[in-house]
Structure 1
Amino acid sequence: MIFIKNPELGKVKTRLAKSIGHEKALNVYHLLLDHTLKITSAIKIDKAVFYSDYINENDIWREGEFKKLLQKGEDLGEKMSNAFIDAFKMGYKRVVIIGSDCFELNEGILNNAFKILEENEVVIGPANDGGYYLLGLQKYHKQFFENKTWSTETVLLETLHDLSNLNLSFKLLPALSDIDEEKDLNNYPTILNNENKCSKTF
């Protein structure tokens, strides 16, 4: 499950936009979407894209390869919770959710997440900002999506507390960095140079 925002000027990468402007921030987000498309296309599993505001039938997410759905809920926790509930109701035994902010994420890490879920109940990809870039479950647990201050540095720690309280088996993936602020671009000097080469087909 891939959570994305509809890429519209002034509505994505708002923290990044404070320093580089909304137009460049939108271009960066398009590059991140292109990267997410590339790495998920390489994985031979069922895939679904969850849009924040509306479903775009004519964008980079190819019909037939990606199921297109709308996020449902008030906050991020409720939206993710509903997505997991629906996936497990459909009969899936291993479900992974990612966002579209991590340029370091690759198909090897995604494949490893599903492999880990063969023998563990939970897999988490920690983000260096204190959140996580990936969450994978064998079964739905509502605690993961409640009583969190989303998009803050406390989310990962609170989720690890949930794991301890529920006594679930889990493994952590490598810690990676999301691109949310200008300082996060320091490790990717080519991003801004290549910002005009992305597929702006939304």
Structure 2
Amino acid sequence: MKTNALLIFTRNPEIGKVKTRLAETIGDQNALTVYNDLLNHTKNVTEHADCDKFVFYDSHVSKNDLWPESIYQKKLQIEGDLGQRMQTAFDSLFEMGYERCIIVGSDLFDLTKSIIENAFKQLNTYDVAIGPAEDGGYYLLGLKKKNDTVFLNKKWGTDSVYEATIKDLEHFKIAILPTLNDIDTFEDLERSGYNCKNIKINTNAEISSKEV
């Protein structure tokens, strides 16, 4: 019987296409380095989690990358806004027979294996598990059945997403997880404890070639 599935949403790590808000301050090369570090952290905290694991790429499925195919099943996100992409990913795994599905991004140095496992545990009792992010979004969403409402009519990437989602879930039993800091800006990166001392701040909006 299929029970727990973890969905990891990720961008293909290509220079100029990841962490663009962060790159405005530290340059594209540094932003790519930080993103690769985030991907490695996400892999390290998920690879031993007790669940089936799926990586959803944004542009193409990569072979022989940091996500070993012996551990992670690889899929491609559909076209559309973030809500449409998440909804379709959830639906596909529920259709495969999974009973509890949790999605996380790849933007958090604060994410831990215990947070993910606790979220699955909460879904034994609650209808939904959600992890709020400091910027007003969320870093984790866990469902036990299809719920299209939570993916509709959201201003993705803004500080209204978490509150709007909670409003949609007012008739459900919700487990709220610890609030974490996801990495979108240089200020987020500094708060994360990441070693920023060798990062060259890009005051003139020029691309820096100095690596982290």
- Alignment TM-score > 0.5, same fold: yes
Aligned AA (1:57): K
- The 5 A counterparts of 1:1-202 are 1-164=7-170, 167-192=171-196
Secondary structure in 2 matching 1:191: coil
Q: Is the 8 A contact 1:72 1:79 kept in 2?
A: yes
Q: Is the 8 A contact 1:127 1:175 kept in 2?
A: yes
Q: Is the 8 A contact 1:5 1:12 kept in 2?
A: yes
Partner Cα distance (2:194, 2:156) in 1: 30
* Identity rate, percent: 48
Q: CA deviation at 1:144?
A: 0.6
- Structure showing greater radius of gyration is 2
Alignment TM-score, normalising by the size of structure 1: 0.93
Partner Cα distance (1:116, 1:14) in 2: 34
Secondary structure in 2 matching 1:168: coil
Unaligned 5+ runs, structure 1: 196-202
Alignment TM-score, normalising by the size of structure 2: 0.88
Q: 1:18 to 1:194 in 2, by over 3 A?
A: closer
Aligned AA (1:125): G
Secondary structure in 1 matching 2:108: coil
Partner Cα distance (1:171, 1:188) in 2: 24
Q: Which has the higher helix share?
A: 1
The 4+ residue runs of structure 1 with deviation greater than 3 A are 188-195
Q: Which residue of 2 aligns with 1:198?
A: none
Q: Is the 8 A contact 1:28 1:192 kept in 2?
A: no
Secondary structure in 2 matching 1:144: helix
Task: Work out the number of aligned pairs and report it.
Answer: 193
Partner Cα distance (1:188, 1:169) in 2: 31
Aligned AA (2:176): L
Q: Is the 8 A contact 2:12 2:57 kept in 1?
A: yes
CA RMSD, Structure 1 to Structure 2 (Å): 1.3
Q: CA deviation at 1:34?
A: 0.3
Q: Is the 8 A contact 1:96 1:114 kept in 2?
A: yes
